[in-house]
Homo-oligomer: A and B are copies of this chain.
Amino acid sequence: MKLVECVPNFSEGRNRSVLDRIVESISSVKGVKILDVEMDENHNRSVVSFSVPLENAVEAAFHGIKSASELIDMTRHTGEHPRFGASDVVPFVPLEETTLKDCVALAKELGKKVGEELRIPVYMYGEAALLERRRNLEDIRSKSFQFEELRHSIGEETWKPDFGPQEIGKAGATIIGARNYLIAYNVNLNTQDISTGRKIAKALRAKDGGFTFVKALAFYLEDRKLVQISMNLTNFQKTPIHRVFELVKLEAARYGISVVESEIVGLVPLEALVESSRFFLQLNRFSTDQVLEKKLMK
């Protein structure tokens, strides 16, 4: 059975009962497993994560978007995080044997359905982008251009949605797409020198010549009195955790700094850990199917 993860962001982070009803409407679809629900009061936004068999994925996401469009009124919504609509961003993420291509197909099917049946303007992003300029989420919706700005500008050619009407109702617009699994990965260093931290982060991240699938920033953690290299690994198959860890260690060593520990925030696919064991233990012919729990799942 091919599984997919869907991580819809809803513009409601304060009213628990509203969110519960949205989550219930998603859960009502066969095979859905809710993996995580994070409500953020300041952002007034929630991130729901669920797994679902490929064949029910569009239906489950559609249920959530429909429910949110009925329960959330964007004309009354405030919150710190940039947002476009009641269902703000809805990415599909491949799990296990599912491919990114599968997810692109799901995203397009969902985008069309949401545009036509719910009459909500839809912008396609990530691997499912129909226009190259909409590939990066930040190039669509940002701090300076969100729901309020879109309401005024949607009539312009540049804001013509990929699906649905070229007009904004109370549910706002929805950004739908497909992306790889994202691992939030931090490495803590035994230094308080943020400027050295920034040099290390720079060596790591794609846009400054580092690894293609790494976004990295350095932070000083006041409570722990140390510098943290905080990263998003956007394709753990092509830029695996162990290589990132080893490069942080190597770059830190030139300043006499060592690694205190590293941390994975939230969930991580089994394959990412197996790959690190393969590297460090030189288990070059090890298959993920040798993990007992994989057999128990079947």
Contact = CB atoms under 8 A, between A and B. Distances in A.
A277 B277 CA distance: 6
Interface string A261-287: 111101111100110110011111110
Contact of A281 (B3, B242, B281, B285): B242
A206 interface: no
B268 A285 contact: no
B286 A270 contact: no
B290 A270 contact: no
Contacts of A253: none
Contacts of A273: 273-274, 277, 291
B283 A270 contact: no
Contacts of A266: 290
Contacts of A143: none
A27 to B, nearest CB: 14
Contact of A297 (B283, B284, B297): B297
Chain B CB within 10 A, most for which of A261, A282, A295: A282
Interface of A: 3, 33, 35, 51, 95-96, 241-242, 245, 259-264, 266-270, 273-274, 276-277, 280-286, 290-298
